[in-house]
Every structure is written in C-alpha cells, then in structure tokens.
Amino acid sequence: MPPRTFCQTTVSNLSTPAGTYIYALTPLSATHLAASTSDSSIITFSKPTLTLTTTISHAHTNVTSLTPYPSSPQTLLTSGTDGLVKLWDLRCPPTASLASEIAVGAPVLCASANAQGGIIAGTEMQERVSKVYVWDGRMLSGEDVKPTWVFAESHGDDVSFVGFAGEEEEAGGGGSRWGVSGGMDGLVSVFDLRAGKAGAGDDDEKALWQVVNVGASVHRAGFLDAGAGGKGEWVFGLSTDESLVLGCFDRTPGREEEEEGDVQGGVAGDVGDVRERLGCEYVVDVLRASGNGTTGGIVVAGNKEVGKQWVDLVPLRWAGSQWGFASEDKVRLQGGHGEEVCRGIWVDEESETVFTGGEDGLVKVWREETSREEGVSEGEKKERKEGRRERRRREKERFKPY
C-alpha cells in the first residue's frame, strides 16, 4: 500500500533574514505556533495563514530550546548558551513579555516543562561537570531561585536532552514524577523526582532510577507506551548517528536491577540504525503517539538527496515480541525541505495538518493531497475521513500482541 502523501499548501520565511534556520516549532495557543531561529529570535505566527504576529529578537545569546509552558496560557520556555532559562508570557507586548528568568551559571543546552509547572534543564560540561536542574516553576520569585533537584553525576559529558514523562500521564500526576535526560556520553537517565527529600547533596544517588546506554551522543529521549503485551512503558534514546534503543521501564521499586538485561535493549528494544531501516538520511524527532488507546510513537525521518526529497512520519509500534516500523501506515511530506534539513515539526491531529521548519529558513504547512478530494461532496469527504479513522483503528488492532 503506498503511503499517504501530504503536499505543501502554504509556505513562509516568517520575515527572517536570508540564511536563517528555523530550529524548532511548538504550539502557543489554539490558533498560533511559535518558532525559534538561528539568529536567536522567537517568532509567533498564525496557524491558518503563517502570518507573523510577534518577534522577540535576541531572546538569548544562542537559543538552544523552545517549548510550551503548559501550566500557564500562551507562555513559552526557552534556554540559551548565555546560561539562562526564561519564561515568556506572549499575552504581553514583546518588550514586556519576559515573565521570569533563571540564571543557571553554565550554558544551558536543553530545557522542558510539564503541566504541573515543573522545569528541567541540562547544561554544557564545565570543569568536568555537567548538571541537570529541576525547579518548581510556581516558586520562581526573587533573584535567588533554588532548584528542587540538582543532578551532577549522571552524565560524563554535555547534557543534550531533558524532559518529563509522556503527556498521557499528566492527568494522573505521572508527568511530575519522572524526569529524563540524555547526554553526549550516550546515556539516557531516568529520575524519580519523588524519591526522598531533594537538595541534601546526594540527589543522583537518591533519584536515579534507570539508565539506558544508547552508545552515542543522545539526540532525543523520552517514554513510549508499548501496551500491556509489550510490558507497558519503555524509555527510548535516539543517538546523533540515528540509532534507536529502547529500555523497558519498570516502575516497581526494587525491580530495576532484576530487569537490567531488558533495560539495556536486547533484540526487543534495539531498533538499530534508522537510516538503514527506513532508507532515510537523517531523523528529525521521535514523537509520542497520542489519542485514546494509541500506543507507540512516530519517527520523523528525512531525505534531501536530489530526486528523493521527502520527510516521512513512520509509526513505531510494538509488534508482538519487539519494536518495529509500520511503514505501510506512514505519511510522506512530498518534497520535504528540498536539499536542506528539516529541523522542527508539529502535528495538528485535529485538522490532520503538519507544520515543519527547516534549514532553508521556511515554515511549511502540509495536508493530504487535494486531488483526492476534488469533485467530492461534503458528505463523501466526511465518509472518507471516517473511513481513514476506521482503517487506522484496524491497523492498531493488527499490532496488538496476543
């Protein structure tokens, strides 16, 4: 079965100077997205039209991450090599939008937030030490902002990625318990942020729950749900050489050592070089699948070779006894970003629209090719949409383990 093909419908350079890269895309509100750029700007724009609405120039010396701050409406979290973590309230004019600022004391390479107001950030290695910090964002007041956790021994190189548990867990508070970090030492570390009392000087020993060795510098990390037959939650790490490794995540206290063989990957969790598996040149991201009953993830992979230019969204699922790709269900963004690399992606599942940003300095909007809808009545379009949903439901059933 050929892939579903999405075609470019709208494109904009967001009025950025020539040669500017679009680094990341993230939602700001129901109608707007935000982007970070290589000239250290934060830009907000309309989803329907890509019309520029706000530009915050020189948000950091170099912007290293951009993510929503979900506990506060229209608020963004950023980090930079200037050693700062910042919160921006975009309901205010650009000159007054800086809501809070944390001075970390070392270049910050990554940051993220959860729905409970937690903030996690990772630093570059300085004087042979790199650190992962966790703060309660609801307690940011005054100049001396104290972290709730400081992990200084979990990575032997720069911390390249940080995050919290998946969105599906947030309603039950799971997102406020588990933190994850990835480093250029090839390790993915999981922390239990409710382990004992933080701040007593041995945070790593108390809170470090699990380690997965990816084998090369970590590009992305996080949690994926394999379903009951696949032992539930898994921790994944994607390396900069595009290898994907997953470790089974056991939340039961005292059992992490028993599962050590499984944790390190093995056949079930070692997907291998994604480039060989998918015929791509690079991997943009690994997205957690969302929606009721949905498990697994989406690997976003790209190709920029002349004549083979595309970005694919390929489902990664637990298939009975191991992780694998459901390539027959992939979505192809035909043409991708041409000869340039796609750097950021955001998927609007409600409208079945994909937004991408790349090193060509462009933000692109993608929808399923319109030729399939020409001459079709609204009733037939609705039936087709319902049919696609039913086919996706059936495909999910196929991959349920026995």
| Residues in CB range of 189: below 8 A, 6 or more apart | 132, 151, 154, 155, 180, 181, 182, 183, 208, 210, 211
Domain boundaries, the chain: 4-398
The residue among 296, 255, 297, 302 whose CA lies nearest residue 275 is 302
Q: What is the DSSP letter of 171?
A: G
Secondary structure, 3-state, 330-383: CEEEECCCCCCCEEEEEEECCCCEEEEEECCCCEEEEEECHHHCCCCCHHHHHH
**Angle (nearest 5°) at CA 37 between 127 and 92:** 100
In 3D space, the residue among 336, 381, 379 whose CA is nearest the CA of residue 360 turns out to be 336
pTM: 0.87
Q: How far apart are CA 29 and CA 183, in angstroms?
A: 31
The CATH class for the domain spanning 4-398 reads mainly beta
Structure confidence at residue 268 (pLDDT): 80
Residue 290 has a pLDDT of 75
Q: How crowded is residue 198: how many other Cβ atoms within 10 Å of its Cβ?
A: 16
Residue 176: count other Cβ atoms within 10 Å of its Cβ: 19
Q: Give the per-residue pLDDT at 203.
A: 87
pLDDT of residue 397: 45
Beta strands in 38-158 (DSSP E): 42-46, 52-56, 63-68, 75-80, 84-89, 98-103, 108-113, 118-123, 132-136, 149-151
Q: What is the pLDDT of residue 223?
A: 94
Contact 159, 149 (CB under 8 A): no
pLDDT digit of tens for each residue in the chain (402 aa)? Answer: 678 999 999 999 999 999 999 999 999 999 999 999 999 999 999 999 999 999 999 999 999 999 999 999 999 999 999 999 999 999 999 999 999 999 999 999 999 999 999 999 999 999 999 999 999 988 886 666 789 999 999 999 999 999 998 544 444 455 678 999 999 999 999 999 988 665 556 789 889 999 999 999 999 999 999 988 788 889 999 999 999 999 998 776 544 444 443 434 456 889 999 999 999 999 999 999 876 667 899 999 999 999 999 999 999 999 888 999 999 999 999 999 999 999 999 999 989 999 999 999 999 999 998 654 444 455 555 555 665 555 455 444 443 332
Amino acid letter for position 328: E
pLDDT at site 276:
96
HSE toward the beta carbon, residue 160, CA cutoff 13 A: 19
| Cα angle 349, 354, 355; round to 5 | 130
Looking at residue 251, what is its pLDDT?
72
